[in-house]
């Protein structure tokens, strides 16, 4: 299967949804699915499904449809969910706790191995089976453990304060819940920004324009 830097982000952003829906189909013991049916679940056109999957080399057979498990496993591989990524969490406030407790990281093949916080009152707290560590232990931890990515569950100013340290420790992949623009400072980082307000504004748009 082809790997390509030229695949558009809008195709890439649909891959997790394919993965999610295919996982649900697999749980329901569905063996195979046509592009038409998959399109209906995904709320896109069948031609879009075929185009999307062709970006990665196909996976379907004319007149047969897609094997659910095969397609799911291929997308899983594309998404790097077999890579055993090791992650740390920065911030043990409500957001950090919610992210750590709400998400099923293991299902995504990700291991959350440590959590750091600079509020002395939160250090030592338990999140799942992790004890919250002090941010002053960050350097020692990162020097003795593999850390593929950091989840930044702190406000913009917090990220501003800690980003140089993380970058110098070699962490260049971020799941960023703050509004701090990391790539404008460090262009060789990979960042996925979560803007919850964008999602809420989309709901407002629907309420404003689509309500009967």
Judged by the rule CB under 8 A, the positions of this chain that interact with a copy of itself are: 3, 5, 10, 12-13, 15-17, 19-20, 78-81, 83, 85, 93-95, 97-99, 101-104, 107-110, 148-149, 173-175, 177, 188, 190-192, 194-212
> Closest CB to a copy of itself among 6 and 29?
6
Q: What are the C-alpha distances in Å from 123 to residues 115, 117, 133, 138, 156?
A: 9, 6, 5, 13, 21
Q: How far is the CB of 63 from a copy of itself (least distance, A)?
A: 29
> Closest CB to a copy of itself among 64 and 101?
101
Q: How far is the CB of 199 from a copy of itself (least distance, A)?
A: 5
What residue ranges in the chain does DSSP mark as E strands? 32-33, 66-67, 86-90, 111-117, 126-127, 130-134, 149-152, 173-176, 190-193
> Closest CB to a copy of itself among 65 and 109?
109
> Closest CB to a copy of itself among 9 and 29?
9
Q: How far is the CB of 136 from a copy of itself (least distance, A)?
A: 25
Residue 64's SS3 state is coil
Strand partners, 191: 174
Q: How far is the CB of 89 from a copy of itself (least distance, A)?
A: 12
Taking each helix axis as running N to C, give the angle between helix 46-54 and helix 35-42, from 0 to 180 degrees, rounded to the nearest 10: 100
């Amino acid at each position: 299967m082809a790997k390509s830097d030229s695949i558009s982000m809008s195709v890439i952003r649909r891959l997790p949804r394919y993965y999610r829906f295919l996982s649900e189909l697999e749980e329901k013991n569905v063996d195979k699915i046509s592009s038409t049916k998959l399109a209906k679940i995904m709320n896109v056109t069948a031609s879009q499904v075929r185009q999307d999957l062709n970006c990665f080399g196909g996976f379907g057979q004319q007149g047969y449809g897609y094997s659910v498990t095969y397609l799911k496993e291929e997308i899983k591989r594309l998404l790097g969910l077999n890579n055993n990524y090791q992650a740390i969490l920065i911030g043990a406030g409500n957001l950090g706790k919610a992210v750590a407790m709400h998400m099923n990281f293991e299902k995504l093949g990700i291991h959350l191995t440590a959590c750091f916080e600079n509020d002395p009152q939160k250090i030592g707290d338990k999140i799942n089976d992790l004890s919250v560590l002090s941010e002053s232990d960050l350097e020692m931890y990162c020097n003795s453990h593999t850390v593929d990515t950091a989840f930044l569950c702190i406000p913009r100013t917090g990220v501003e304060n800690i980003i140089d340290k993380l970058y110098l420790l070699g962490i260049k992949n971020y799941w960023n819940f703050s509004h701090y623009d990391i790539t404008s400072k460090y262009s060789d980082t990979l960042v996925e920004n979560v803007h919850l307000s964008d999602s809420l504004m989309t709901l407002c748009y629907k309420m404003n324009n689509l309500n009967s």
